[in-house]
Amino acid sequence: MKIHKEGRKILFFTLLGLLIANLVLYYFNSNLLVNRIFTGASAIVFLLILQFFRSPYRNLLLHEDLVIAPADGKVVVIEDVEEPEYFQGMRKQISIFMSPINVHITRNPVSGVVKYFKYHPGNYLVAWHPKSSTKNERTTTVVESLAGPEVLFRQIAGAMARRIVWYVKEGDEVNQGEEFGFIKFGSRVDIFVPLDTEVKVQLGQKTKGGQTVIAQLKTTV
């Protein structure tokens, strides 16, 4: 396992700040118990941030008509909804909530060509709030899959998240399972597929990005 590039600068400055704080405390405070407690708390804080930015190796599952989980987390929504931004019609929505202890890399659920991309600034409602999909900071990506149908997926910032990172743009060819972005400190990913898509997960099921099959598309090519 390695540390994701999005976390290296944060981890460096966090470690530097904690080291300085501990040195100052030990210099000015003679209470050994307090100093040890602060050092222990500093170590816990650093380890929590370190685990957030971990980038574990994944044996990716690849198949052109399968939709693979774009993120680690838990399935919190499976329903037919109106998708107003791109499709402007009914689609099947599958949403994955990513807690602070999950890996926060986001991966392409299908291979194909990026037909649409847009970044939306917004609020920071809790990621499971029904309006977070349309009110929070988010990105929307639509890929025309190799199987034919277009798949829309949306990175959504949560109450803790304050930055969404993406690595794609319109016209890019993307490969299933490869990283398309990163969401820092709590978030959610929504996936929108055609209504005739066969869902392969259940509410409450845990997913692994790049490995868990969440749906199977009806091939049109």
pLDDT tens digits along 108-133:
999 999 999 999 886 656 555 555 56
Cα(178)–Cα(175) distance, integer angstroms: 6
For residue 124, the model assigns a pLDDT of 58
- Token pair listed for 61: 């599952």
- Token pair listed for 219: 């091939």
Could you give the residue numbers annotated as active site? 187
DSSP reduced 3-state for 19: helix
For residue 203, the model assigns a pLDDT of 93
Give, for 143, the enclosing helix (H) or strand (E).
strand 138-145
Nearest to 35 by CA among 44, 25, 47: 25
| pTM of the predicted structure, to 2 decimals | 0.81
Bridge partners for 83 per DSSP: 89
For residue 30, the model assigns a pLDDT of 83
Nearest to 206 by CA among 96, 70, 103: 96
Within the chain, which residues score under 50 in pLDDT?
Answer: none
| Side-chain half-sphere CA neighbours of 96 within 13 A | 31
- Other C-beta atoms within 10 Å of 200: how many? 15
